[in-house]
């Protein structure tokens, strides 16, 4: 029987008078790869931020791995992010003065304790075994994003949230990162990925389309 | 990992930190310099002030009321109480003995000096540079050269134990033909007294005070002349003291044991006087207010000025740190946001920034201490003619002050770290 990892019910988020999410409901099973799509300002990133514990809903429920995020305080959300979420950002967001290895170890440090051997292994898994001691500024965009993927995976999160993970990459690097996501999916990782590109969205198991903060009428299984 | 993050942040992102450390180093340099000078200035200025003359006067407790005209005691020699010269060495045995820079006994006795006409005056027996035996077996050289350094002598002072005299300038002016250097003068205690005593005038002294109407002779001569062997009437003491504060003004009998210890072990005029009275029983120590008051006032004012400069330097450093820290937090918002997004608690991120600040404080404080010590040497050399020596006792104080300034200056920006919301920052807003 497939386990439901993410459950969203009547999720609303308002920024002043702007309604970013307006009664969104859906569920994601463990091991699914979901593409969240929609035009700019449709609420994709807001949805990802709420599911990642970076933001709180105005109303409704968001349950991830049986944790109702609305019930967590700030410290609880921090712990939730450290233990259950792996973020991959469009802008990579690596700490500029730490090496590739140290950036991965940083996530370990905030989770529990560091293990350099494990961090090396994770970077080798994303093909960066020869770039361990390089600073982000010394890496290409694709390499930086692979470091970000390694950082997202190092604590074995329940859910990987990727916000436009290939949005800043050239085609060659895009293929490398998408290859990594495919591999993660084959390893039964649950991935929620925001993307604009239909051909990338097509790689996912399922699409969730957002328009003006609402689910589009017929999110289709791909 | 924590130290690794801090270390890498210093090594690879040093620009802003150099600015912060520089602000701290400058502030701490000024603070070190002023504190070093403040530590030395009390001692140095007190020594400079000692050139003004004695600041304590010791008289017998049971003395009769003095018959003083213009500061000279005109009482007959058989009136009033006397003190023992043999006890004077004990002054160099008190707790604050090293602060007793000099002491000079005075024995006043009436005299008539015979020149072109008889003139009634006073013989003042004293020391110029006399070796006093101390109970520990050493000797201490003292006399008016130490307690009255401002007196101007024309000619030379008398030899100890001789029949030589130094005439006060005002008295010499009354009979310049006979009361002159190289002349022998005759003195008698009274017109009826015989025989007369002969004195060779070796110098004319200007004191700027009433003693200018008297004749100075060696103490031993005055004792033999007056029949008070081994005695004197008053003692001038030049002592290094610290300005009086609330504790100094209190009656020692009302102090608690702790307060009493602190009072006894501080070189207040009152505590030194108290210790002197203990070794010279039957005496009363009076403060020469004219000297002691102005000395205390100036020392307090200089000390206050130095404290104000120190506080201003520290405040300026704190403001500079506040500005650079605010800019640094703004510049590193993304980094803070990322750390929070991947699970860093507010405490951990704040601790990172605090550690950076404290490390900068230690570095800036240490550099500032070295710079400030050099500055103090320069200031000491310019103001006192002697470079101020490094005060290593100030190093931990300066480092603690640097830490305090860094924390106070960085408090508001670092508090902002805890309020950084990662979501909008990571969206690029």
Tokens found for residue B316: 């300026």
Output the pLDDT for position B274: 87
Residue A220: inside a domain: no
Residues 6+ apart with CB under 8 A from A212: A22, A41, A42, A43
pLDDT confidence band for B307 (50 / 70 / 90)? confident
Centre a 10 Å sphere on the Cβ of residue B389 and count the other Cβ atoms it contains: 13
Partners of B110 in the β-ladder: B122
pLDDT over 80 at B296, yes or no: no
Which of A6-10, A138-142, B4-8, B218-222 bottoms out in mean pLDDT, i.e. has the lowest? B4-8
Average pLDDT, chain A: 89
Over residues B44-91, the pLDDT tens digits come to 666 666 556 678 888 888 765 555 555 555 655 556 688 899 999 998
B1, B341, B427: residue with CB nearest A114: B1
Tell me the average pLDDT across B96-103: 89
Judge contact between B72 and B108, C-beta under 8 A.
yes
Whether the CB of B418 is below 8 Å from some CB of chain A: the reply is no
Residues of B within 8 A of A162 (CB-CB) are: none
Its domain, for residue A87, covers: 4-215
Whole-structure pTM value: 0.62
The CATH code of the domain that includes A134 is 3.40.50.300
Which residues 9-28 in chain B show a CB within 8 A of chain A? 9, 11-13
List the single residue in A with minimal CA-CA distance to B345. A78
Partners of B197 in the β-ladder: B187
Which of A3-7, B122-126, B327-331 bottoms out in mean pLDDT, i.e. has the lowest? B327-331
Output the pLDDT for position A219: 47
Partners of A15 in the β-ladder: A18
Output the pLDDT for position B165: 94
Which class for B22: exposed (0-12), middle (13-18), buried (19 or more C-beta within 10 A)? middle
Identify the three-state secondary structure at position B234.
strand
Residue A191: inside a domain: yes
Per residue in B110-122, is it b (16+ CB within 10 Å) or e — as a string?
Answer: bbbbbbeeebebb
Over residues B349-384, the pLDDT tens digits come to 888 888 888 888 889 899 999 999 998 888 877 776
Residues of B within 8 A of A138 (CB-CB) are: none
Tell me the average pLDDT across B391-401: 88
Residue A221: inside a domain: no
- Alpha carbons within 13 angstroms on the beta-carbon side of residue B15 total 5
Q: Is the preceding peptide bond at B195 cis, omega within 30 degrees of 0?
A: yes
Residue A222: inside a domain: no
pLDDT over 90 at A51, yes or no: yes
Whether the CB of B302 is below 8 Å from some CB of chain A: the reply is no
Residue A26: inside a domain: yes
Judge contact between A92 and A136, C-beta under 8 A.
yes
Judge contact between B91 and B182, C-beta under 8 A.
no
Residues of A within 8 A of B8 (CB-CB) are: 97-99, 102
Residue A14: inside a domain: yes
pLDDT over 70 at B96, yes or no: yes
Q: Cβ contact (<8 Å) for A95 and B338?
A: yes
Q: Cβ contact (<8 Å) for A91 and B346?
A: no
Over residues B179-205, the pLDDT tens digits come to 999 999 999 988 777 788 899 999 999
Domain count, chain A: 1
Q: What is the DSSP letter of B213?
A: G
């Amino acid at each position: 029987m497939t386990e439901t990892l993410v459950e969203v019910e009547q999720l609303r988020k308002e920024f002043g008078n702007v309604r970013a999410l307006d009664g969104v409901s859906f569920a994601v099973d463990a091991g699914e790869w979901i593409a969240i799509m929609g035009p700019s300002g449709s609420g994709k990133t807001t949805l990802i931020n709420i599911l990642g514990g970076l933001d709180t809903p105005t109303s409704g429920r968001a349950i991830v791995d049986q944790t109702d995020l609305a019930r967590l305080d700030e410290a609880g959300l921090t712990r939730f992010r450290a233990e259950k979420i792996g973020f991959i950002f469009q802008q990579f967001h690596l700490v500029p003065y730490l090496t590739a290895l140290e950036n991965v170890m940083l996530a370990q440090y905030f989770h529990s304790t560091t293990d350099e051997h494990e961090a090396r292994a994770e970077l080798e898994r994303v093909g960066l075994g020869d770039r361990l001691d390089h600073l982000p500024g010394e890496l290409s965009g694709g390499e930086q994003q692979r470091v970000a993927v390694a950082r997202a995976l190092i604590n074995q999160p329940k859910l990987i949230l990727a916000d436009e993970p290939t949005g800043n990459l050239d085609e060659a690097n895009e293929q490398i990162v998408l290859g990594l996501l495919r591999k993660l999916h084959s390893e039964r990782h649950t991935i929620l990925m925001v993307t604009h590109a239909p051909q990338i969205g097509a790689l996912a198991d399922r699409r969730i389309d957002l328009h003006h903060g609402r689910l589009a009428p017929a999110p289709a299984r791909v | 990992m924590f130290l690794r993050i801090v270390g890498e942040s210093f090594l690879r992102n040093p620009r802003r930190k150099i600015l912060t450390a520089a602000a701290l180093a400058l502030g701490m340099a000024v603070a070190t310099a002023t504190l070093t000078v403040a530590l030395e200035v009390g001692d140095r200025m007190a020594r400079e002030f000692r050139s003004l003359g004695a600041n304590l006067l010791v008289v017998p407790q049971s003395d009769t009321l003095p018959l003083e005209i213009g500061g000279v005691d005109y009482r007959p020699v058989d009136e009033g109480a006397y003190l023992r010269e043999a006890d004077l060495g004990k002054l160099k045995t008190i707790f604050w003995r090293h602060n007793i820079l000099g002491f000079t006994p005075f024995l006043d006795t009436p005299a008539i000096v015979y020149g072109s006409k008889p003139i009634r005056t006073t013989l003042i027996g004293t020391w110029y540079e006399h070796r006093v035996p101390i109970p520990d077996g050493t000797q201490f050289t003292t006399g008016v050269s130490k307690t009255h350094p401002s007196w101007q002598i024309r000619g030379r002072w008398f030899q100890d134990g001789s029949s030589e005299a130094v005439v006060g300038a005002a008295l010499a002016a009354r009979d310049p033909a006979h009361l002159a250097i190289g002349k022998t003068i005759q003195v008698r205690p009274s017109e009826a007294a015989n025989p007369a005593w002969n004195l060779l005038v070796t110098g004319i002294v200007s004191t700027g005070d009433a003693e200018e109407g008297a004749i100075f002779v060696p103490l031993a001569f005055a004792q033999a002349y007056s029949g008070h062997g081994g005695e004197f009437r008053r003692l001038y003491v030049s002592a290094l003291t610290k300005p009086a504060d609330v504790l100094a003004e209190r009656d020692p009998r009302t102090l608690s044991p702790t307060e009493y210890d602190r009072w006894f072990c501080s070189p207040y005029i009152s505590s030194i006087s108290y210790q002197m009275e203990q070794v010279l029983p039957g005496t009363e120590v009076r403060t020469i207010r004219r000297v002691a008051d102005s000395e205390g006032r100036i020392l307090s004012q200089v000390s206050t000025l130095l404290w104000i400069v120190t506080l201003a330097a520290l405040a300026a450093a704190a403001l500079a740190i506040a500005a650079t820290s605010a800019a640094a937090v703004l510049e590193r918002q993304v980094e803070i946001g990322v750390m929070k997004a991947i699970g860093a608690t507010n405490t951990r991120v704040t601790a990172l920034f605090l550690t950076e600040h404290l490390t900068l404080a230690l570095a800036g404080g240490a550099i500032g201490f070295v710079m400030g010590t050099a500055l103090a040497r320069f200031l000491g050399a310019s103001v006192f003619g002697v470079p101020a020596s490094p005060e290593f006792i100030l190093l931990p104080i300066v480092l603690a002050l640097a830490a305090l300034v860094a924390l106070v200056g960085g408090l508001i920006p670092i508090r902002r770290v805890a309020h950084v919301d990662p979501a909008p920052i990571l969206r690029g807003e």
